[in-house]
Structure 1
Amino acid sequence: MSMDYEQYLSKTAIDLKPSGIRRFFDLAASMEGVISLGVGEPDFITPWNIRDEAINALQDGYTSYTANAGLIELRQEISNYVQRRFDVHYDPENQIIVTVGASQSLDLAFRAIVNPGDEVLIVEPAFVSYASLVLLAGGVPVPISTYSDNGFKVTPEQIEAAITDKTKAVLICTPNNPTGTCLNKEELTQIANVIQKHDLICLTDEIYAELTYDDGFTSMASIPGMYERTILINGFSKGFAMTGWRLGFVAAPKEMVDLMVKIYQYTTMCAPHMLQRAAIEALQNSTDQVEHMRESYWRRRNYIVQALNNIGLSCHIPGGAFYVFPSIKQTGLSSEEFASELLQQEKVAVVPGNAFGESGEGYIRCSYATSIEQLQEAMKRMGRFIDSLK
C-alpha cells in the first residue's frame, strides 16, 4: 500500500524553493572539464597552523562537549577580534555564541526574534538562505530590490517605504553576496537612522568583512545607537578559508543571546570541541595568511571585472567578497537560459542571478575564488559564448 506522504509533511518545508546555487553546482560536478565559478568557496586550503592546531587538539583528547555557547577561551578571542577589527565590545561571558557556521547563527537569530507573521526586510539580491530561514521561523520575508545603476546599494528611502506595522527586523549583508557591494559608514548611518526611528532590529551578516578592498569595513554594530538593536553574524568560512569546518559566531545584546542559547541547547548542543581550539589559533596567529588571501582576491577581482566588460558583459566593481554580478541583459537570454547554455556549450558554471531574488534576473553571479589561470580560461570561453549569440 502506497502512502500519500505529503499529508504528513511540513507545508512550509515543502514550499521552500531548492537552492539555485546547489542545482548548478551539482550539474557542473557531473560533467567533465567544467570550470566552476559557481559555489562561493575559497580555493585556498585552510592555513597550516590552523589545521595543525586541530590535529593537536584531537591528539590531546579534546573530543568532549563544550559549553553550549562555546569555549570561553574562543569567545574571549572573538571578543578581542571584534573589538580590534570593528571597534565594538561584546562580553564573552554572555554576548557571544560559537555556532556551526554563520548560517546557524542566522537560524538562531530568526528563531529568537520572529513571531508568526512578523516581517523581515531583506535587501536583494540576497544570499539564497535568508528568505527560507525567515519562513522556517514563521516570519514573512519582504524583499527590497536594489539595482546596478547605483552599485546595488539599498537606500534609506527604500527601507522606509517597505516598513509596515508588522515589520520586526531588517537584514543587511555587507559585503554582499552575490553583488560584492559594500556599504560605507555614511550609508550605514543613514540606514541606521531609519531602523532606530521605527524601533526595529538589524541583523547584519558580516561574513565577508575580512574581504574588503577599497574603503575598509564598518560594522553596523559600531554605528551610534545600533549596538543595542543589532545582531552581528560572522564566522571563519570566508576570510579564514574554513568553509568545511562549519564555525561561525553571533554577537548581540545579552537578552537576545540568552534566548538563542536556549534554542541551541535543544538543537545542536555545541560546535565541535577540537575545531573550536583551532579557531582560537586562527584568531591569534593568522593575520598574515588572511591578508595574503585578501590581496590575491583583490588582484583577481580587478582582472575579472575588466575581462567581463571587455567581452561585453557590463559589470560594476564590487567592494568586497569574491563575487562579481555582471549583466547579461544584452544577450536577450534569461539568467537561467544564459547559465544553462553557457554550461552546456562552454563548460563554465555560473549561478543565474534570479537565484538571489527577482531583482537578480538579468544577471549572473561569478565567483573569482579560483586561480587566475582558471579565470583566464573561463573568460576566454565566456567570450566565445557571447560571440556565438551575435
Structure 2
Amino acid sequence: MHYAAITDRLAHTGGAKWAIHQRCREMKAAGADIIELTIGEPDLPPDPRLFEICHQSMLAGRTGYSSGRGEPALLEAIAARYAKRRAGVDTNNVLCFPGTQTALFATMMALTGPGDGVLVGDPFYATYEGVIVASGAHRQSVPLRPEHGFRMTAEDLEASITPHSRVLLLNSPHNPTGAVLEAGELAKIGAVCKKHDLWIVADEVYEELVFDGDFASPFDNPDLAERVIAVSSISKSHAAPGFRSGWAVGPHEFCEKLLPFSETMLFGNQPFIADMTAFALTSDMQTSALMRESYKRRSGVFADRLEKLDGIVPFRPQAGMFIVLDVSGTGLDGETFAWRLLEAGVAVMPGSSFGDSGGKLVRLSLTVPDEAVEEACRRIARFVGTI
C-alpha cells in the first residue's frame, strides 16, 4: 500500500529516542527499584485552583467546539502577557494550540518546505528533529559548545548558515543543558538572522524556570518583531503538562497565514482548558517559584556529589529541570553509560537522543524528591566505581 512521504521522514524521529525511559517503566511495573530521571514531568502538582476552574467551566457547559484561533479570554490573557514585553501586541498576534509541541509543528509547517534548512543548536530537544523534517525541511546543526556553557554564539550561527537556511529554532532556556542566553547574546544572534532574512522561532517553555537573573528573549526586541515567533505553554510554568495548552505569538501576517492550517489540523483547544489557562496566566501563583527553588537546589546536589567521581563532569544548569553530565572520562559513551546505569537502578537519558553532539552526555531530570536525588547520587557513585 502507498503511504505519504511524511511517514518516511518521521519514521526514525519518534519512540526510539525514549527507549531507556520505556524500558525503565517496564522494569518498574515488574517491581524493580528504579529511580526515574528520564523525562521532565514536574513533581509538584498544579495549583488546586486550576482544577476547580476547569471543573466549574465544564459544569457551566464549556464543552462545545472552540474557536479555531483560540477562546477570547485566553487570547486576551496571552496578548496581555506579551504586550508587557513588547508594545503593540494584541490578540491578532496570537494562536492557541494544545501544547508547545503542536505549536512548533504547525509553525514549522507554515514556514518551511522541501529543501529548506532549519538551524538549531546541537544538542537539542529530542522532538525538534520531527517538527523540522515533517515539512520536508532538513536540520542544520549549530554547535553548542561546552566551553561556551552550551550557549549559541552569533559566530557559530553565521558559520552554519547556507543559501537553504530559512529558520532559526532557538531554545532558551535550553533543554537538555539548562543554558540561558543573555540579552546581549540574543542581540548579536538577532542581527545575524536579520542579515540573512531568517525567521526566529523561540521555544520559551522554560521562561519561568530561570534560577538567577532575568529571562531575555528575541521577541522583546522591536527590531525583530517581523521575524520572531514565540511558542510556549503552561506545561512547565504551571506544572500542567497533561492539560496540553500552549500558544504561538508572532506577526499579524504570520497568524493569518497559519490560521487555516491550524483550523484544518485541530480547530482550537478545549474551551474548559482555555478557561483554566486564562486563569493561570492572570493569577498570582507560586508554582514556578517553588519549582525554581527545588530544581536549583537539586541541580546543586547532583553537581556537588557527582563532580567528585572520576570521569564525570557535570554542567550546572542556569534554568529548567535537567542537568547534563559528560561521562566520556569513564571510557563509556552516553548511550552505553545510560543502559548500564539502568541495570544499577537509575534511569537517565543518553545524550545521543538530543543530537549529533550529545554522544558523550547523559541527561538527568531534577523532578524527583530530594531524598531520591541523594540516593541516585549514591547509586551512580557505586556504578562508576565498577567501571
* TM-score normalized with structure 1 length: 0.94
Which of residues 20, 23, 30 is equivalent to 2:26?
30
- CA offset digits 1:166-209 (Å, max 9, x no partner): 11111110000001110000110111110111111101100000
For 1:1-390, what aligned pairs fall within 5 Å after superposition?
A: 7-8=2-3, 10=5, 12-13=8-9, 15-31=11-27, 32-84=32-84, 86-87=85-86, 89-92=88-91, 94-312=92-310, 313-344=312-343, 346-389=344-387
Question: Contact conserved, 1:20 with 1:352, CA < 8 A, in 2?
Answer: no
RMSD across aligned positions (CA): 1.5
Residue 83 of structure 1, CA deviation = 3.2
Residues 305-314 or 10-19, more deviating: 10-19
Residues 329-338 or 280-289, more deviating: 280-289
- For 1:33 and 1:262, the matched residues in 2 are separated by 49
* Structure 1: runs of 5+ lacking an equivalent: none
Question: Contact conserved, 1:25 with 1:39, CA < 8 A, in 2?
Answer: yes
* Structure 2: runs of 5+ lacking an equivalent: none
Question: Contact conserved, 2:13 with 2:127, CA < 8 A, in 1?
Answer: no
Residue 89 of structure 1, CA deviation = 4.7
Residue 14 of structure 1, CA deviation = 5.7
- For 1:9 and 1:302, the matched residues in 2 are separated by 47
Give 3-state SS (helix, strand or coil) of 1:64's partner.
coil
- CA offset digits 1:126-164 (Å, max 9, x no partner): 011112211111111111121212211111111111111
Question: Contact conserved, 1:108 with 1:263, CA < 8 A, in 2?
Answer: yes
Give 3-state SS (helix, strand or coil) of 1:116's partner.
coil
Question: Contact conserved, 2:346 with 2:376, CA < 8 A, in 1?
Answer: yes
Give 3-state SS (helix, strand or coil) of 1:271's partner.
coil
Give 3-state SS (helix, strand or coil) of 1:142's partner.
strand
Residues 240-249 or 298-307, more deviating: 298-307
Question: Contact conserved, 1:21 with 1:39, CA < 8 A, in 2?
Answer: no
- For 1:19 and 1:146, the matched residues in 2 are separated by 25
Residue 87 of structure 1, CA deviation = 4.3
- CA offset digits 1:225-266 (Å, max 9, x no partner): 111100111111011101000111100001111122110111
Residue 47 of structure 1, CA deviation = 1.0
Give 3-state SS (helix, strand or coil) of 1:365's partner.
strand
- For 1:58 and 1:370, the matched residues in 2 are separated by 32
Residue 16 of structure 1, CA deviation = 2.7
Residue 12 of structure 1, CA deviation = 2.6
Question: Contact conserved, 2:50 with 2:279, CA < 8 A, in 1?
Answer: yes
Question: Contact conserved, 1:28 with 1:36, CA < 8 A, in 2?
Answer: yes
- CA offset digits 1:60-98 (Å, max 9, x no partner): 1110112111111111111222234x4455211x11011
Give 3-state SS (helix, strand or coil) of 1:257's partner.
helix
Question: Contact conserved, 2:47 with 2:285, CA < 8 A, in 1?
Answer: no
Given residue 250 of structure 2, which amino acid in structure 1 is its aligned partner?
Answer: A
Identity of aligned residues (%): 28
Paired residues, what number? 381
Residue 13 of structure 1, CA deviation = 4.1
Residue 286 of structure 1, CA deviation = 3.9
Residue 224 of structure 1, CA deviation = 4.2
Q: Cα gap change, 1:229/1:9 in structure 2, threshold over 3 Å: closer, same or farther?
A: closer
- For 2:4 and 2:23, the matched residues in 1 are separated by 27
Residue 218 of structure 1, CA deviation = 0.7
Residue 347 of structure 1, CA deviation = 1.4
Q: Cα gap change, 1:14/1:154 in structure 2, threshold over 3 Å: closer, same or farther?
A: closer
Residue 45 of structure 1, CA deviation = 1.1
* TM-score normalized with structure 2 length: 0.95
Question: Contact conserved, 1:336 with 1:352, CA < 8 A, in 2?
Answer: yes
- For 1:385 and 1:20, the matched residues in 2 are separated by 25
Given residue 77 of structure 2, which amino acid in structure 1 is its aligned partner?
Answer: E
Give 3-state SS (helix, strand or coil) of 1:137's partner.
coil
Question: Contact conserved, 1:70 with 1:98, CA < 8 A, in 2?
Answer: yes
